[in-house]
Amino acid sequence: MFCHPEERSDEGSSRRLLAGGQIPRFARDDSRALFLSAVSFGHRNREEERAMSQKQSYHMTPEEFRRHGHAVVDWIADYHRRIESFPVLSRVAPGEIRAILPASPPEHGEPFETMLSDVENLLPGITHWQSPNFFAYFPSNASFPSMLGELLSAGLGVQGMLWATSPACTELETHVLDWLGKMLGLPEKFQSASSGGGVIQDTASSSALCALLAARERSTGGKSNEQGCDGRLTAYTSTQAHSSIEKAIRVAGLGVANLRSIEVNADFAMRPEALARNISEDRRAGKTPCFVTATVGTTSSGAIDPLREIGRICREEGIWLHVDAAMMGTAALCPELRWIQEGLEAADSYCFNPHKWMFTNFDCDCFYVSDRAALIRALSVLPEYLRNRATESGAVIDYRDWQIPLGRRFRALKLWFVVRHYGIEGLRHHVRRHVELAQRFARWIEESQRFELAAPASLNLVCFRHTSGDSANERLLEKLNSGGRIYLTHTKLDGRYTLRFCVGQAQTEEQHVEEAWKRIREAAETVS
Ligand SMILES: Cc1ncc(COP(=O)(O)O)c(C=O)c1O
């Protein structure tokens, strides 16, 4: 039940009109809440309540679930239909959403209809990531087949920590990740039939951490797990790598002082000769280089590190190479874009996020290793209470040994649904479309007098700036985002304020990109 701050002291008022036109119910206390909801809906009538108390159960019945479930699906479908009517970026002030929530939890259960209708009151506090006018950060796109897969996963309620705790959860995951490996043209060694295999992690951050832990243990012969880090292990990534790499270094105990930020070239891609130089300097200083992360599609500018040269150095030096393709890895679905992962054969691990650009709702990161034994050695701890015959037979995968937590959700269902709904053809179609739209936007920037590209337009990401300098660009971004019709974010490249335009939401089409360009030009008139 929601209560608007101004109305908290107003005993007589029971309704208010929100900016969006909805009339939410609210109540000062739970009895009033129950009264109002009974008046408004009458769904949980006295008979139902009596039946409930007689049953001594407060659970929703399967029939109630069926009815409410249909209402939720209807709500989601309607939300997506009207999504463009909301300001893309939420406009609420800090604390504004909490202020409309009741101070205490309800003593008595509330009708489902009330709960669902109260979701409307959260909408002002939602930034609409699924809007086709969302061009900020990176996409976190979703699709209806994925949402339905997620619902089924919740419905089955499986905890798939071991093969034995739900064989289908493990085997579907292995199978779908093998499919994806083939769909993306990943090296054979990442297939489960070889020495490696794939697993679904929550995020690319977790994949980087798992890769680093496996690298650390390989490099120290298991000593780090036994005795802790001795301060000699070093790791390498470019100045443009995602912050999750530094976080992994912290969590794994290497120490940030042992992370080298490797210089990049004019296109913001890692310079292999700088990597080689840092490694040899460290060796001379008695350090033990153990981990390199290369990025396929950096967050700031979409730069693609030269995997072939980096891989050659890692092989020569016996260093674990992890490739982070969080967003742009999806592009490899299209054979003509597979050049982004040339040289991947030398990698020990690889990850990309279907929860970014492959229509699979958060969370879903696919993590592949070429030597699963190295990962399992680093992460497996087997207490008595998890022992079982299947594990001891050695014939099954227990994914708990491939990740940090013990428990795991049945995420493969949504991925399976996405792949089967779209087919390879459908996924390629939409990825190509996004790339084509972003590249068209980049051409408009190039042709314009007022704007310039800040980096080569990389697949679906365009970094650009107004020629009038940093503060004009800051004002431009503020103006665009406060207008509510589109949402972009920024970065800094070469120390200069840069706007990022990333095309990747499921429903983004030509008209959205054209409209965005029109709005950008109009807003530019007022800031330069
Ligand atoms: C290149 C890159 N790596 C890693 C991440 C982190 O992704 P996640 O939220 O899945 O950890 C991002 C997200 O922005 C990214 O762009």
Same structural domain for residues 95 and 222? no
Same structural domain for residues 310 and 187? yes
Beta bridge partners of 51: none
User: Running along the chain, 528 residues long, what does each successive block of 10 average in pLDDT?
Assistant: 38 32 37 39 59 76 97 98 97 96 95 96 97 97 98 98 97 98 98 98 98 98 96 98 98 98 97 98 98 98 98 98 98 98 98 98 98 97 96 96 97 98 98 98 97 96 97 97 96 97 97 98 90
Residues 6+ apart with CB under 8 A from 197: 174, 177, 178, 190, 191, 368, 369, 372, 397
Task: Say how many Å lie between the CA of residue 316 and the centre of ligand 1.
Answer: 28
Same structural domain for residues 103 and 241? no
Beta bridge partners of 289: 234
Q: Which ligand 1 atom minimizes the distance to the CA of 299?
A: 16
Residue of 242, 323, 365 to test ligand 1 pocket, by largest number of atoms within 8 Å of CB: 242
Task: Say how many Å lie between the CA of residue 205 and the centre of ligand 1.
Answer: 7
Rounded Cα–Cα distance for residues 72 and 65 (Å): 10
Name the residue among 361, 358, 354, 367 with its Cα closest to residue 205: 367
Given a contact cutoff of 8 angstroms between Cβ atoms, the answer to whether 528 and 472 are in contact is yes
Q: For atom 7 of ligand 1, which residue has the closest CA?
A: 204
Q: Which ligand 1 atom minimizes the distance to the CA of 138?
A: 14
Same structural domain for residues 173 and 101? no
- Which alpha helices (H) appear in 252-369, and where do they start and end? 272-284, 307-317, 354-357
Task: Say how many Å lie between the CA of residue 502 and the centre of ligand 1.
Answer: 14
Same structural domain for residues 317 and 390? yes
Name the residue among 330, 332, 371, 368 with its Cα closest to residue 350: 368
Count: domains in the chain: 2
Given a contact cutoff of 8 angstroms between Cβ atoms, the answer to whether 466 and 527 are in contact is yes
In a domain, 419, yes or no: no
Residue of 353, 362, 403, 458 to test ligand 1 pocket, by largest number of atoms within 8 Å of CB: 353
In a domain, 513, yes or no: no
CATH number of domain containing 251: 3.40.640.10
Task: Say how many Å lie between the CA of residue 244 and the centre of ligand 1.
Answer: 7
Same structural domain for residues 92 and 191? no
Residue of 324, 340, 366 to test ligand 1 pocket, by largest number of atoms within 8 Å of CB: 324
* pLDDT score, position 47: 72
Task: Say how many Å lie between the CA of residue 296 and the centre of ligand 1.
Answer: 11
Task: Say how many Å lie between the CA of residue 137 and the centre of ligand 1.
Answer: 10
Residues with a CB atom less than 6 Å from ligand 1: 138, 203-205, 242, 244, 295, 297-299, 324, 326-327, 353, 365
Same structural domain for residues 287 and 178? yes
Same structural domain for residues 121 and 201? no
Domain boundary among 386, 409, 432: 409
Domain boundary among 409, 425, 459: 409
* pLDDT score, position 17: 30
In a domain, 228, yes or no: yes
Task: Say how many Å lie between the CA of residue 380 and the centre of ligand 1.
Answer: 25
Sign of CA dihedral 53, 56, 58, 63: negative
Range of the domain at 392: 161-409
In a domain, 151, yes or no: no
Q: Which ligand 1 atom minimizes the distance to the CA of 207?
A: 11
In a domain, 476, yes or no: no
Same structural domain for residues 186 and 326? yes
Same structural domain for residues 42 and 85? yes
Pairing of strands 288-295, 320-324: parallel
Task: Say how many Å lie between the CA of residue 243 and the centre of ligand 1.
Answer: 8
* pLDDT score, position 491: 98
In a domain, 496, yes or no: no
Q: Which ligand 1 atom minimizes the distance to the CA of 203?
A: 10
Rounded Cα–Cα distance for residues 309 and 52 (Å): 68
Task: Say how many Å lie between the CA of residue 367 and the centre of ligand 1.
Answer: 13
Q: What tokens appear for 115 in the block?
A: 């709960």
In a domain, 437, yes or no: no
Domain boundary among 344, 378, 409: 409
* pLDDT score, position 16: 33
**What's the whole-model pTM score?**
0.90
Q: Which ligand 1 atom minimizes the distance to the CA of 353?
A: 10
Rounded Cα–Cα distance for residues 233 and 215 (Å): 10
Q: Which ligand 1 atom minimizes the distance to the CA of 202?
A: 10
Give the single-character DSSP code of 359. S
Residue of 205, 238, 244 to test ligand 1 pocket, by largest number of atoms within 8 Å of CB: 244
Task: Say how many Å lie between the CA of residue 469 and the centre of ligand 1.
Answer: 28
Q: Which ligand 1 atom minimizes the distance to the CA of 241?
A: 1
Rounded Cα–Cα distance for residues 39 and 32 (Å): 10
Q: Which ligand 1 atom minimizes the distance to the CA of 137?
A: 14
Give the single-character DSSP code of 25. B
Task: Say how many Å lie between the CA of residue 443 and the centre of ligand 1.
Answer: 27
Same structural domain for residues 349 and 393? yes
CATH number of domain containing 35: 1.20.1340.10
In a domain, 142, yes or no: no
Which amino acid appears at position 159 of this protein?
Q
Same structural domain for residues 73 and 167? no
Q: For atom 9 of ligand 1, which residue has the closest CA?
A: 203
**3-class DSSP state for residue 79?**
helix
Task: Say how many Å lie between the CA of residue 238 and the centre of ligand 1.
Answer: 15
Given a contact cutoff of 8 angstroms between Cβ atoms, the answer to whether 437 and 510 are in contact is yes
